[in-house]
Structure 1
Amino acid sequence: MAGSLQDQLLNIGVADKKKSKKAKHDKRQDATKSRQARKSGVKATPKEIQQQLDKARQDKQQKDLALNQQRNSERAEKALVADVRQIIVTQAVEIPKEAEVAYHFEHDKKVKKLYVTDEQQKQLTRGQLAIAIIDDGYRLIPDKMAEKIESRLANMVIRIQSESVSEEDDPYADYQIPDDLMW
């Protein structure tokens, strides 16, 4: 019968490999700590070693807990983005291929252009439609869906708010500007 008792127990199936590896690992760590203590000239008592081990375990548990919280928050963020993507894809208003009206809007401090139909342009200016950002592209969605998405992830929606200038300060208030004016 060659081999250690531990190997024999593993062979007959009484013990499992995980526990065996953990026991060997703990034994090596204890031996290393005692060697280091001897080198430094300080004799470590078993009580001190146990305190160090307990502290190391507590530190590891705290790190694991923080890592788990981070992973959970990342999962929640991914789920939220997936949910918003699903809303955008299912509720998107189709822009026909023959849309010729260029609608200009601001995104990330840059002016972007989206080709829409005349009716869609009017709905955008009235605030009935909003622009959703998805996969580096843009889709039109109803304003109610935009509110829902904005409450979850505000950076995925561009809502056009009609800016009304107060009539007292507006020097051009007497002049009529047509709604369908194209620049």
Structure 2
Amino acid sequence: MSKSLQEQLLKAGLGNAKKLNAIKKEKHKERVQAGKNGVVVNEAAILAEQSRQAQIAKDQELNRQKTEALAKKALAAQVKQIVELNSLPHKGEIAFNFTDGTLVKRIYVSEKVQQQLVKGLIAIAKVAEQYHLIPIQIAEKVQQRLPEAVLVLNQQDEQLPEDDPYADFKIPDDLMW
């Protein structure tokens, strides 16, 4: 009831001043108790808090993504430095074919380097769209940090099956695939 309506009812004799004061006191007590118990529902405050929480979550996600991107960038720089510092010279006349994703690439190497590639003593790594020959120990370190950087890493399986029917036959040196 609005104040003017309450006054009108009192003037008309339909209400009692004592009852009106008792109702006012009761409402005042309810408001005070609700305030003490924290039950006061303020929708604007709730919406503001929800908005603030949503913004905090969004900011945390953006920070996580930025941290992840920086970590990847630092890892790529570390791999690039390792590969470039340990890169082996590979100029030669023998073509060595390998795959880079779905493409077949060719690198020209010496006969000694070709044998080392086949035996798994040397690996091929790709850094900044360039191919580098690196020792197997370095390739394993690079592969731990950034697996997609190492393209060719032949693992030697020295254990041949005991019942290999072709064990007595030697592969010719001049055989080119």
Give % identity.
Answer: 40
Please tell me the residue identity of whatever aligns with 1:48.
E
Counterpart residue number, 1:47? 42
Are 1:176 and 2:170 matched, yes or no?
yes
CA RMSD of aligned residues (A): 2.1
Please tell me the residue identity of whatever aligns with 1:88.
V
Find the aligned partners of 2:44 and 2:119 in 1 and give their Cα distance: 73
**Which one of 129, 152, 156 corresponds to residue 149 of structure 2?**
156
- Where in structure 1 do 4 or more consecutive aligned residues deviate above 4 Å? none
Q: 1:173 to 1:110 in 2, by over 3 A?
A: farther
Flag structure 2 segments of 5+ consecutive residues without an equivalent. 1-39
How far has the Cα of 1:48 moved from its partner? 1.2
Please tell me the residue identity of whatever aligns with 2:154.
I
Counterpart residue number, 1:114? 107
Secondary structure class of the residue paired with 2:175: coil
Are 1:137 and 2:130 matched, yes or no?
yes
- Report 1 or 2 for greater relative contact order, CA contacts < 8 Å, sequence distance ≥ 6: 2
Tell which structure's C-alpha radius of gyration is larger: 2
Are 1:79 and 2:66 matched, yes or no?
no
How far has the Cα of 1:182 moved from its partner? 2.4
Secondary structure class of the residue paired with 1:93: coil
Counterpart residue number, 1:127? 120
With normalisation by structure 2, the TM-score equals: 0.69
Range moving further from structure 2, 171-180 or 109-118: 171-180
**Which one of 60, 63, 70 corresponds to residue 55 of structure 2?**
60
Flag structure 1 segments of 5+ consecutive residues without an equivalent. 1-44
Range moving further from structure 2, 51-60 or 128-137: 128-137
Counterpart residue number, 1:40? none
Aligned residues: 136
